[in-house]
Structure 1
Amino acid sequence: MPHDSRPATSKVPAVTLGFWLIKIAATTLGETGGDALSMSLGLGYLVSTAIFAVVFATAVGAQIGARRFRPLLYWLTVVATTTVGTTLADFADRSLGIGYAGGSILLLALLLASLVIWYRVLGSIAVDSVATPHAEAFYWITIMFSQTLGTALGDWTADSAGLGYTGAMMIFGGLLLAVAAAYFWTRLSRTALFWLAFVLTRPLGAVVGDFLDKPIDHGGLALSRIGASGVLVALMLVFILIFPQRPADKAY
């Protein structure tokens, strides 16, 4: 593997309360934004996935090419992973006919494979080790799989399991609280807890997004997808301004 001569400066944010609040807003935006393009504008899942995939690839390229941590660029890239994850999961689950369960199992396998390969190649999957282009590439691929998995899990829980959007929100919110409790009161691996929480914020955002824009007779609020997306963009910007944004400390 060629040596990277650039300084090993982290370009991902430190994991703080602000990080998680922005992440949940971003994942909710991914659901409403993805549905706005595929459903409200009528482009369908495949075309929408192709559009968001180009945005995702462009954002990741800019993120990897950046010389330092840029909060707006980082969160734009996260939103790109959530939108492409939304339409890709919907395409796999619905258009390909493998269903929510099949899609969730497939995506979980891809996520675990990404983490295993990343660890075997670079020796760490900790966020504070993401300071080289190779680590960043693994980081964003893993995030994209986690966001897509989260969409499928959210739909599976709310629809197939019959819990509805509010029930699913309670399930995933409760699981996130359990992860937080494990972080503060156990000695479980911080890296494992981070990735578990990272995955769980996506289905939470997915069901919150569906709750906002799905019809009232389906348990939603029937809000405009485009309008809800605009509000979520504004909320993310407020959070980014309120909560200090600093790069994660390197672990080496």
Structure 2
Amino acid sequence: MNNKTAHTLSKVPEVTLLFWIIKIAATTLGETGGDAVTMSMNLGYLVGTIIFAVIFLIAVAAQIGVKGFHPFLYWATIIATTTVGTTLADFADRSLGIGYAGGSTLLFILLLSSLAIWYRTLGSVSVDTVNSPKAEMFYWVTIMFSQTLGTALGDWMADTAGFGYSGAAIVFSAMLALVVFLYYRTKVSRTVLFWAAFILTRPLGAVVGDFLDKPISAGGLELSRYSASLALFGFILGCLLIFKQRAASRVH
């Protein structure tokens, strides 16, 4: 087997520090952007979910349809998953009345089911293997569930658990630090640690987003959701323009 056939590129980015920085910014943007549509525009959670679900489906279809890794399209799809995750979680928790605990439990079951079916079907849930339409479908469905779960967990920790936005951010940051420690100091599965970090960055982004735009009386900074979203979008765009991202790769 020569090098050309032994080495294939996936359609997702290489997991580096830059990946996680953009991921946290994207999840925070998902929170402020989702709230801007559902709350600031007064469209409600159901309408907001429908709008972002359509954007999500279009983005995923485009991502699956292209050849190779395209950073701007990939991160646009990630942002689409996190905005629809924000509005969907809010709709389930608040409009359907199942509460943060009920919503988090349901979404956790859906996330684990998605990972289990993915593994049973393709034999791996590693992001390095995302180089076929079927793998991409599992990848984006799993991400959508993880983003939605993260929103519910963030709201649960900040509101119901009483940690507040800054306190919840510290808790999730500490949990991410534990994942980093396990990565460098143990032999725990890198795939397991990746998905743990991927899930935890979402509630971190959710509480940071709420901290930015919620009223001062509720523990936030009361910034405009529009300006916060624009600033986050500009930051992500700047990272993509300045720093080159490569596709993840694997050896067969």
TM-score (norm 2): 0.96
Q: Give the corresponding residue for 1:3.
A: none
Q: Give the corresponding residue for 1:229.
A: 229
Q: Name the SS of the counterpart of 2:128 in structure 1.
A: helix
Shift of 1:242: 3.3
Q: Give the corresponding residue for 2:169.
A: 169
Shift of 1:8: 5.8
Q: Which aligned runs of 4 or more in structure 1 are off by greater than 6 angstroms?
A: none
Shift of 1:238: 1.5
Aligned positions of 1:167-246 closer than 5 A: 167-246=167-246
Aligned residue-pair number: 246
| Residue type at the aligned position of 1:109 | I
Shift of 1:251: 4.3
Q: 1:129 aligned to 2:129? A: yes
Aligned positions of 1:108-147 closer than 5 A: 108-147=108-147
Counterpart Cα distance in 2 of 1:202 and 1:94: 19
Shift of 1:217: 0.1
Q: Give the corresponding residue for 1:4.
A: none
Percent of residue pairs identical: 67
| Residue type at the aligned position of 2:17 | L
| Residue type at the aligned position of 1:35 | D
Shift of 1:97: 0.3
Determine if contact 2:8/2:249 at 8 Å carries over to the other structure: no
Q: Give the corresponding residue for 2:159.
A: 159
Shift of 1:240: 1.7
Counterpart Cα distance in 1 of 2:46 and 2:102: 18
Counterpart Cα distance in 2 of 1:236 and 1:147: 18
Counterpart Cα distance in 2 of 1:142 and 1:56: 13
Counterpart Cα distance in 1 of 2:33 and 2:184: 34
Q: Name the SS of the counterpart of 2:124 in structure 1.
A: coil
Aligned positions of 1:92-111 closer than 5 A: 92-111=92-111
Deviations 1:133-154 (A, max 9, x none): 0000000000000000000000
TM-score (norm 1): 0.96
List alignment gaps of at least 5 residues for structure 1: 1-6
Q: Name the SS of the counterpart of 1:248 in structure 2.
A: strand
Determine if contact 1:129/1:251 at 8 Å carries over to the other structure: no
Give the structure with the higher percent strand.
2
Shift of 1:239: 1.7
Q: Give the corresponding residue for 2:30.
A: 30
List alignment gaps of at least 5 residues for structure 2: 1-6
Determine if contact 1:165/1:207 at 8 Å carries over to the other structure: yes
Determine if contact 1:131/1:250 at 8 Å carries over to the other structure: no
Shift of 1:68: 1.4
Counterpart Cα distance in 2 of 1:163 and 1:184: 29
Deviations 1:21-48 (A, max 9, x none): 0000000000000000000000000000
Shift of 1:16: 0.2
Shift of 1:237: 1.1
Counterpart Cα distance in 1 of 2:185 and 2:140: 29
Deviations 1:122-178 (A, max 9, x none): 000001000100000000000000000000000000000000000000000010011
Q: Give the corresponding residue for 1:48.
A: 48
RMSD: 1.0
Shift of 1:250: 2.3
Shift of 1:10: 1.1
Q: Give the corresponding residue for 2:83.
A: 83
Determine if contact 2:9/2:68 at 8 Å carries over to the other structure: yes
Q: Give the 3 Å change call, closer, same or farther, for CA 251–113 of structure 1 in structure 2.
A: farther
Counterpart Cα distance in 2 of 1:176 and 1:243: 24
Determine if contact 1:107/1:149 at 8 Å carries over to the other structure: yes
Q: Name the SS of the counterpart of 1:68 in structure 2.
A: coil
Counterpart Cα distance in 1 of 2:78 and 2:171: 23
Determine if contact 2:8/2:251 at 8 Å carries over to the other structure: no
